[in-house]
Amino acid sequence: MIYLYLLATVLFVFGIKKLTSVKTCQLGNRISELAMLIAVVTTALVMTKISWPIVIAGLLVGGAIGALIAKRTPTTQMPEMVAALNGFGGVSSALVAMAFLLIDDRLKGEASLWSTGVANAVSTPATVVIGMVTLTGSFVAYFKLSGKKLAHPFAGSQRHMAHAVLGLGCIALGAWMVMTGSHTQMTISTILLALVASVLGALLVLPIGGADMPVVVSLLNSYSGVAGAAAGFVIGNPLLIVVGALVGTSGLILTQIMCKAMNRSLSNVLLGGMGEETVAKDAKDYKSIKSAGPEEIAMLLDGASSVIFVPGYGLAVAQAQHVVRELADLLTKRGANVRYAIHPVAGRMPGHMNVLLAESDVPYDQLWEMERINGDFKNTDVVIVVGANDVVNPAAREATGPIAGMPILDVDQARTVVVIKRSLAPGYAGIKNPLFELDNTLMVFLDAKEALEGIVKEVKELK
């Protein structure tokens, strides 16, 4: 069986590696699915007491539910689904640790958890805490991503004090759970630990603004991996330890990449910042806006030799990814060099724009990362910003402000910038965007899909 575990581990590594590229991500998913199937079946074979009908039923029912959710979840709700899956991963690890307390023969009678060894004594309460924090934190993120207005019950120093008290409570309950020799007290302490950790998880995410949700989702993904690795120590499963460590470290690396892309420290994100309910007084105070319609934009594109699309969350909301691909194809046939500029934190989860555009079969070689394409904007005829705001806001170059120092796409350097936006409402940062007032900027005040469909129609009519 150790060879099957090794095979599953290697497949997981290759699967994660393939997920790093848009071209190979689908293959990476398939490889990881195969690895998970091998892992589940092998674990079932290793166990001496097992009900195969339950295992098979779990595989079939769980697989069917997963397939149904995947089929019915629109691209706009992908961030919410990822957040929910992180939560389910965390709570499953916590339940494994709690089940261990019920079935481990070493804990019968008056034996304490400490008597089972340091590894179990540390990993069991840690799994419960991390798993439950991940569960409730992920579902707070889920509701925030869904547009629900959730506020922390405390503010300022009181908020940090509440978090500290709950953290100390988790430590105290964990110590009680480990040291007590009474099975009843162990059960009570475990339940209390799970409840306190659940409250802590929710409160930790509540003050974090919507603009920081991509970082939070990535971090919670890392938490779910750490919880899985800890659960592996609890039940002595090496594969779970390795896979949990892979997920935990990859999620943490991605979190660091996201923070770097926002020029924010992780502590700054976790303590609450950009994207809360604050809006600058001048956020909608614009004086020199030039607006245009689809006909004017089509005429502008008719003479363009280079065009860059900048997708944002508004593109996902409007479900306009297929229309933008159609427009890009029309421009390519007319001889234009068409590309897509992808900012690391555009959208509401890591890689959101890549997933969105992959759904409409945008050629992989047209997807350019921020660092690679930023130097080309000054040589670009037309940039079309679709539903993005903060990631193209020149205010990031200023010394102060919510997004000061944040790396942005330098779209303002293009000859002409077309911004498709329903209104002049601010982005998550809640500040004014000077891009809208520049001489080379044209605003199209329409829903993204409606605007793009209009432009496509006009381009087709041009001789």
Q: How many CA atoms lie within 13 A of 37 on its CB side?
A: 10
pLDDT band for position 26 (50/70/90)? confident
pLDDT digits (tens, 9 = 90+) for 390-408: 899 999 998 777 788 889 9
pLDDT at residue 34, rounded to an integer: 95
What confidence tier does 211 reach under pLDDT thresholds 50, 70, 90? Answer: low
At which of 51, 72, 93 does a domain end?
Answer: 72
Residue 233 · residue 121 · CB < 8 Å: no
φ, ψ of residue 44 in degrees (nearest 5): -65, -40
298 and 418 share a domain?
yes
Quick one: 264 and 399 in the same domain? no
Tell me which of 237, 270, 303 is where a domain ends.
Answer: 270
Closest CA to 338 of 382, 385, 294, 391: 382
Task: Tell me which residue range forms the domain holding 197.
Answer: 76-270
Annotated catalytic residue: which of 390, 410, 412, 447?
Answer: 390
Residue 287, pLDDT above cutoff 90: no
Q: What is the pLDDT of residue 276?
A: 53
Mean pLDDT of 214-228: 91
- Pick the closest to residue 394 from 359, 365, 364, 429 (CA basis): 429
424 and 353 within one domain: yes
Number of domains in the chain: 3
154 and 85 within one domain:
yes
**Separation CA 108–CA 344 (nearest Å):** 52
Query: What are the DSSP calls for 332-387, one per residue?
Result: HHTT-EEEEEE-TTSSSSTTHHHHHHHHTT--GGGEEEHHHHGGGGGG-SEEEEES
82 with 135, same domain: the answer is yes
**Given the structure tokens 């430590």, which residue do they identify?**
171
Q: From its phi and psi, is residue 310 left (phi > 0), alpha (psi between -120 and 50) or beta? A: beta
Q: Are residues 9 and 113 in the same domain?
A: no
Higher-pLDDT residue of 426 and 200 is 200
The amino acid at residue 142 is: Y
Model confidence at 102, in pLDDT bands (50, 70, 90)?
Answer: confident
Report which of residues 260 and 57 the model is more confident about. 57
Contact 438, 412 (CB under 8 A): yes
pTM over cut 0.85: no
Instruction: State the residue for tokens 């007290």.
Output: 185
Contacts 24+ apart (CB under 8 A), 18-23: 22/354, 22/358, 22/364, 22/367, 23/364
Do you know the residue count of the chain? 463
Q: Which of 44, 72, 100 is the last residue of a domain?
A: 72
86 and 156 share a domain?
A: yes
Quick check: is 212 catalytic?
no
Q: Which of 97, 66, 126, 90 is nearest to 225 (CA)?
A: 90
